[in-house]
């Protein structure tokens, strides 16, 4: 994310969305009631004469839309903001009509809020800092199967799955050549993704010895790629193995500032304390509010979806109170396993400095 211009007195910030992660951040920054300004295309009806049908022309225009609906479409790489037009650069565009501004990678957009809240400012700063950091790739590999994922700012994106039927060593005389074909396929896919997504490191993990064999293969055939690979153990393969790598803290060790790894580990810590029944973790709005009133909250975990829900104002008050008492507030993405587990707890949980009951 690139901040182009800030006008604090007008409550305006002009930014450029550069990545899919930036779009995710914008989705959580823009709230209903905000005015979003951007260059867009609008269909305009033009009547040529009374005998001919109406023609529809698509015209470029700079619009300001008062947001009513904000949707994130990660597979289309878009954020769509819908609402009535409150400003138009052309006089022939009627105010009050509804329009959808589509924000994509490369779009410059201005957001105007009545008041920029702390969590909005924090997320904006996070997006700017995140744009300076490279991403982490995870590859879980075993006999003839490899699953790949990219750890993004908003969550874990499952990428390619590669499957080869290598057969048994006794009956398949071509097993060695097939395994090399499999390794070449995995390596080339890794190179393609890492080049496209600005990935700095790849964690290659798995339950057996295949990961070591693959690493030896990389050192021989793809020496430059091998320098960017870290080896890790897992007990399983597939998607579960990918999340096991994250829970082990490997992503954080490889890339210590990663947001998703931190969120997942904090949710796991909440669950561990709940299981121990040691009174050092609470969940739910009423329990979290009680802990906040005691000044006991060390870390408050808030599911991002709640900041767009009916209890938004109450939750924002709790967040401000935790910050005031020098606690940490973490807004957890709903797009990964940690977010799913937090949602099952009601979307709100806290790690405590001391017991309140």
8 A C-beta contact, residue 148 and residue 237: no
| Greater pLDDT, 294 or 173 | 294
**E strands in 52-107:** 55-66, 69-73, 78-88, 98-103
Task: Give the pLDDT band (50/70/90) at residue 47.
Answer: low
Mean pLDDT for the stretch of residues 218-243: 93
- Please, which residues bridge with residue 44 across strands? 57
How far apart are alpha carbons 349 and 346 in whole angstroms? 8
Per residue in 245-291, pLDDT tens? 998 888 877 766 567 888 999 999 999 999 999 999 999 999 999 99
CA atoms in the 13 A half-sphere facing the CB of 199: 27
Please say whether the dihedral angle defined by the alpha carbons of residues 61, 62, 67 and 70, taken in this order, is positive or negative. Answer: positive
Q: Which of 120, 154, 126, 128 lies closest to 320, judged by CA?
A: 120
Distance separating alpha carbons of residues 76 and 102, to the nearest angstrom: 11
Cα–Cα distance, 178 to 330 (Å, whole number): 46
Of the given ranges (75-79, 201-205, 236-240), which has the lowest mean pLDDT?
A: 75-79
Q: In the structure encoding, which two tokens stand for residue 230, read together?
A: 């870290």
Which residues have CB under 8 Å from 49's CB, separation 6+? none
Least confident window among 73-77, 135-139, 216-220:
73-77
């Amino acid at each position: 994310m690139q901040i182009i211009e800030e006008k604090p007195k007008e409550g305006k910030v002009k930014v450029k969305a550069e990545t899919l992660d930036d779009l995710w951040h914008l989705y959580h920054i823009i709230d209903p009631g905000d005015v979003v300004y951007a260059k867009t295309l609008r269909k305009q009806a033009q009547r040529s004469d009374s005998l001919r049908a109406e023609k529809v022309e698509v015209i470029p225009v700079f619009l300001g839309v008062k947001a009513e609906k904000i949707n994130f479409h990660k597979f289309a790489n878009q954020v769509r903001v819908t609402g009535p037009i409150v400003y138009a650069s052309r006089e022939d565009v009627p105010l009050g009509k509804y329009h959808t501004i589509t924000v994509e990678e490369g779009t410059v957009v201005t957001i105007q809020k009545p008041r920029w809240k702390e969590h909005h400012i924090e997320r904006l700063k996070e997006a700017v800092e995140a744009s300076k950091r490279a991403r982490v790739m995870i590859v879980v590999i075993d006999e003839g199967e490899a699953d790949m994922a990219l750890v993004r700012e908003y969550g874990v994106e499952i990428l390619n799955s590669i499957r080869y039927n290598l057969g048994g060593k006794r009956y398949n005389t071509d097993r060695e050549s097939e395994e090399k074909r499999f390794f070449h396929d995995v390596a080339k896919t890794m190179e393609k993704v890492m080049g496209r997504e600005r990935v700095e490191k790849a964690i290659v993990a798995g339950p057996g010895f295949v990961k070591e064999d693959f690493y030896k293969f990389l050192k021989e055939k793809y020496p430059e790629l091998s320098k960017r690979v870290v080896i890790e153990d897992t007990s399983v393969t597939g998607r579960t193995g990918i999340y096991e790598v994250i829970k082990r803290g490997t992503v954080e060790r490889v890339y210590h500032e990663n947001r998703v790894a931190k969120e997942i580990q904090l949710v796991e810590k909440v669950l561990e304390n709940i299981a121990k029944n040691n009174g050092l973790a609470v969940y739910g709005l009423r329990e979290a509010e009680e802990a906040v009133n005691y000044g006991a909250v060390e870390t408050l975990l808030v599911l991002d979806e709640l900041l767009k829900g009916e209890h938004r104002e109450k939750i924002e008050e709790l967040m401000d109170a935790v910050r005031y008492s020098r606690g940490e507030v973490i807004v957890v993405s709903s797009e990964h396993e940690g977010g799913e587990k937090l949602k099952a707890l009601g979307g709100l949980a806290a790690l405590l400095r001391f017991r309140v009951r």
